[in-house]
């Protein structure tokens, strides 16, 4: 274990961006279980202002993680939202201190099914059921730890958007501005149905071993890959698939007699869309834990903001001063615009200051991760407007006088790629 | 900003809550925020304008007068503004009711169908008038509920609204001198601008 390391705000070198904090007092989960200690892994970019008023929390989606703007340590791929987070980007790290936290239940350093218990074994399927609210409170514990009272903004897409909504619903005084993107105030029956197919694929894999696959020195690779393949289809639109692959084949669409007689070529990779999905599945298996996938998909399914308020979606937002910008995409059928509109109207009823934009895109749910000029413009405009309203200066000058308590660094961080 | 928007802005007290229904490029709410410190928000039906407004940091949401006003709570605003749009909504009377439910005041501007040139056109040609304001043929115009200043006054009376101020203006937004006579305003005013409140 490394020694506690106090990092000065304004200290740009060394460019350590990846951190892990152990919070000994832990967190009482919504299910009643007290989880202690609580590990929270996160990445942070930019410079914390002296007033600590320039913090943007970026919340990641189901299979995302904290490596939002840097090379992923496992896959070697660029950060999942590098186009939105960085110097001069919409979420400008020259101006804001950007934090992205691996969600509770995740598998990149925060407490989750992969975490070792006292008996030296991973939690596995014994990991308590968690909710989006638990994820948010784990993030809030981290901010407490860092001495950050208030977020200038919370921003996230898909499940990240749900965390943004939950942040405002649970801790409205701690969020200045909220940008939920391609998300919904509750998980629909269709959303739950897709998740259930994913879970069945994993649990049906003989290598899953009732969730104790680590004991057998294996992983349910087949099941997890199928889960990912199926989910990936829901992230794309029909138009996107058609444009990208159409009916293009990798080899003869109708295999020869000999090929069929010799074995499985009829069900080998014939169409390009198939090899694309298989590749998506197999590369996912290398970086994601199956039990984490089960745990997080359940947290998604439980999500329903209005459940505690007799179905009144306005109730959790009444009298909140947070500025909202809701963004949806025309071709997103997993979290359709109708859900965002429902949310926007509920916020109107609550008197909240809300902007609502539906961006034209043919790329489905994944559009929020892709190059969409209107998304970029909207994000920049909203952030600038909110900053102006909050009286935040254009650039945040580094202030070496403000120390940030990082707490106990339990794992060594990866350094910034560039 | 258009001159008629300047006139609207002058009707609005500083530091108040304003909803601009049909906010277009957001010029009015931007002006109200910057010069009058208003909490000014917009609703706009054209998504391109919405995106442009939000990209300028303005709080605008996609929606329209007929569908979305019903989702705001009573007295949520001090002023609800409807610029040059009343004639294009599906249910003008209902929209006015909603405006004065969610706002203490309503500011409404509309093109006056009683203007003498329109009257003359219909008299001489016997066909639906066409000019700069009414520029689309009857079968595809979005302006499905044209009305005159007289018509609007009558509606306000039957709905029990108090008219705090009214102006007849020409197309450029210049204030017209026939303020004292509604009959003259109805004949010579190209646009009308009303500040209403509940009784």
Q: What is the pLDDT of residues A367-380, one digit of tens each?
A: 999 999 999 999 99
Give the tens place of pLDDT for each residue, A220-245: 999 999 999 999 999 999 999 999 99
pTM: 0.90
* A11 pLDDT above the threshold of 80: no
Residues B54-75: what's their mean pLDDT? 95
Clarify whether A60 is annotated catalytic: no
- Interchain contact, B62 vs A357, CB within 8 Å: yes
Q: Which helix (H) or strand (E) holds A159?
A: helix A159-170
Three-state DSSP at A403 gives: strand
* A405 pLDDT above the threshold of 60: no
A350 touches chain B (CB under 8 A): yes
Task: Please give the residue that has the higher pLDDT: either A355 or A13.
Answer: A355
Q: Which CATH architecture has domain A192-296?
A: Orthogonal Bundle (1.10)
Catalytic residue, from A39, A110, A365, A366: name it.
A365
Domain-located, residue B102: yes
> In CATH, what number does A7-186+309-404 get?
3.40.50.1820
Q: Do A319 and A333 touch, CB atoms closer than 8 A?
A: no
Quote the pLDDT of residue A197. 98
ipTM: 0.90
* A3 pLDDT above the threshold of 50: no
Quote the pLDDT of residue A396. 47
Q: What is the DSSP letter of B69?
A: G
B39 class by beta-carbon count within 10 Å (0-12 exposed, 13-18 middle, 19+ buried):
middle
Q: Give the mutation candidate from A319, A381, A390, A391 for the B interface (greatest B CB count, under 10 A).
A: A381
Q: How many domains does chain B have?
A: 1
Residue in B closest to A342 by C-alpha? B71
Residues A195-215: what's their mean pLDDT? 97
Give the tens place of pLDDT for each residue, A109-163: 999 999 999 899 999 999 999 999 999 999 999 999 999 999 999 999 999 999 9
Q: What is the DSSP letter of A25?
A: T
Domain-located, residue B128: no
Domain range enclosing B36: 3-113+147-198
- Interchain contact, A355 vs B76, CB within 8 Å: no
Domain-located, residue B76: yes
| A and B: number of Cβ contacts within 8 A | 70
Provide the mean pLDDT of chain A.
89
φ, ψ of residue B110 in degrees (nearest 5): -155, 155
* A398 pLDDT above the threshold of 70: no
Pairing label, strands A34-35, A27-28? antiparallel
Domain-located, residue B140: no
Measure the CA–CA gap between A408 and A3, rounded to whole angstroms: 7
SS3 string of B108-168? EEEEECCCHHHHHHHHHHCCCCCCCCCCCCCCCCCCCCCECHHHHHHHHHHHCEEEEEEEE
Q: Which of residues 18-47 of B touch A (CB under 8 A)?
A: 39, 41, 47
Residue A261 binned pLDDT confidence (cut-offs 50, 70, 90): low
Domain-located, residue B138: no
Measure the CA–CA gap between B116 and B133, rounded to whole angstroms: 14
Residue B36 binned pLDDT confidence (cut-offs 50, 70, 90): very high
* A364 pLDDT above the threshold of 60: yes
- Interchain contact, A378 vs B76, CB within 8 Å: no
Which range among A28-37, A45-54, A140-149, B132-141 shows the weakest confidence by mean pLDDT?
A: B132-141
Residues B126-143: what's their mean pLDDT? 89
| DSSP per residue, A257-277 | HHHHHHSSGGGSS-BHHHHHH
Quote the pLDDT of residue A68. 97
Domain-located, residue B119: no
Alpha carbon dihedral A7, A64, A244, A249, in 10-degree steps, equals 120
Q: Locate B59 and state its tokens.
A: 């709080």
Q: How many separate helices (H) and strands (E) can be counted in chain B?
A: 8, 7
For the domain that residue B46 is a member of, what is the CATH number? 3.40.50.150
Percent of residues, chain A, with pLDDT higher than 70: 87
Measure the CA–CA gap between B20 and B45, rounded to whole angstroms: 12
Domain-located, residue B134: no
Provide the mean pLDDT of chain B.
93
Domain-located, residue B132: no
Give the tens place of pLDDT for each residue, B153-176: 999 999 999 999 998 887 666 666
Residue boundaries of the structural domains of chain A: 7-186+309-404, 192-296
Q: B61 to chain A, minimum CA–CA distance in Å? A: 4
Quote the pLDDT of residue A254. 62
């Amino acid at each position: 274990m490394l020694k506690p390391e106090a990092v000065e705000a304004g200290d740009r070198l060394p460019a350590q961006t990846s951190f892990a904090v152990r919070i000994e007092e832990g967190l009482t989960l919504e299910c009643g279980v007290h989880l202690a200690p609580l590990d929270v892994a996160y990445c942070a970019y930019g410079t914390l202002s002296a007033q600590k008023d320039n913090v943007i929390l970026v919340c990641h989606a189901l299979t995302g993680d904290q490596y939002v703007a840097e090379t992923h340590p496992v896959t070697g791929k660029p950060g999942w939202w590098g186009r939105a987070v960085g110097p001069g980007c919409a979420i400008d790290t020259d101006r804001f201190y950007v934090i992205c936290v691996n969600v509770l239940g995740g598998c990149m350093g925060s407490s989750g099914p992969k975490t070792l218990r006292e008996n030296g074994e991973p939690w596995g399927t014994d990991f308590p059921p968690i909710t989006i609210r638990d994820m948010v409170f784990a993030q809030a514990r981290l901010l407490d730890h860092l001495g950050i009272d208030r977020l200038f903004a919370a921003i996230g897409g898909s499940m990240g958007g749900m965390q943004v909504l939950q942040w405002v619903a649970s801790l409205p005084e701690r969020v200045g501005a909220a940008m939920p993107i391609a998300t919904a105030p509750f998980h629909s029956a269709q959303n739950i149905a897709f998740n259930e197919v994913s879970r069945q694929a994993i649990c049906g894999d003989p290598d899953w071993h009732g969730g104790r696959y680590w004991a057998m020195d294996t992983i349910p690779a087949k099941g997890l890959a199928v889960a990912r393949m199926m989910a990936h289809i829901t992230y794309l639109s029909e138009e996107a698939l058609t444009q990208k692959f159409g009916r293009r084949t990798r080899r003869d669409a109708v295999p020869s007699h000999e090929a069929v007689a010799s074995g499985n070529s009829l069900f080998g990779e014939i169409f390009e869309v198939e090899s694309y999905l298989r590749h998506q599945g197999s590369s996912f298996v290398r970086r994601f834990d199956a039990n984490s996938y089960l745990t997080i998909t359940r947290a998604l399914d439980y999500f329903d903001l209005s459940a505690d308020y007799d179905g009144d979606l306005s109730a959790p937002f009444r009298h909140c001063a947070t500025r909202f910008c809701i963004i949806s995409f025309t071709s997103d059928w997993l979290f359709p615009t109708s859900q965002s509109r429902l949310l926007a109207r509920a916020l109107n009823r609550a008197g909240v200051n809300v902007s609502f934009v539906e961006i034209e895109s043919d790329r489905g749910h994944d559009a929020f991760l892709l190059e969409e000029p209107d998304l970029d413009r909207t994000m920049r405009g909203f952030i600038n407007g909110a900053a102006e309203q909050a009286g935040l200066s254009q650039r945040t000058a580094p202030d070496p006088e403000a120390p940030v308590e990082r707490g106990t660094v339990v794992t060594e961080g990866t350094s910034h790629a560039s | 900003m258009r001159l008629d928007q300047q006139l609207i802005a002058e009707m609005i007290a500083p530091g108040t809550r304003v909803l601009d229904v049909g906010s277009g490029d957001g010029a009015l709410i931007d002006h109200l925020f910057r010069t009058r410190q208003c909490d000014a928000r917009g609703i706009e039906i054209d998504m391109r304008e919405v995106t442009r407004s939000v990209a300028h940091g303005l709080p605008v949401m996609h929606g329209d007068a007929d569908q979305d006003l019903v989702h705001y709570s009573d007295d949520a605003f001090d002023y609800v503004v409807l610029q040059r749009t009343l004639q294009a909504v599906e249910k003008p009377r209902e929209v006015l009711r909603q405006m004065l439910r969610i706002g203490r005041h309503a500011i409404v501007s509309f093109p006056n169908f009683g203007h003498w040139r329109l009257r003359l056109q219909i008299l001489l040609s016997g066909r639906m008038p066409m000019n700069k304001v009414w520029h689309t043929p009857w079968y595809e115009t979005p302006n499905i509920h044209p009305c005159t200043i007289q018509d609007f006054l009558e509606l306000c009376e039957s709905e029990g609204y108090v008219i705090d101020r009214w102006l007849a203006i020409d197309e450029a937004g210049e204030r017209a001198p026939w303020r004292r006579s509604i009959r003259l305003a109805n004949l010579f005013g190209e646009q009308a601008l009303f500040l209403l409140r509940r009784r």
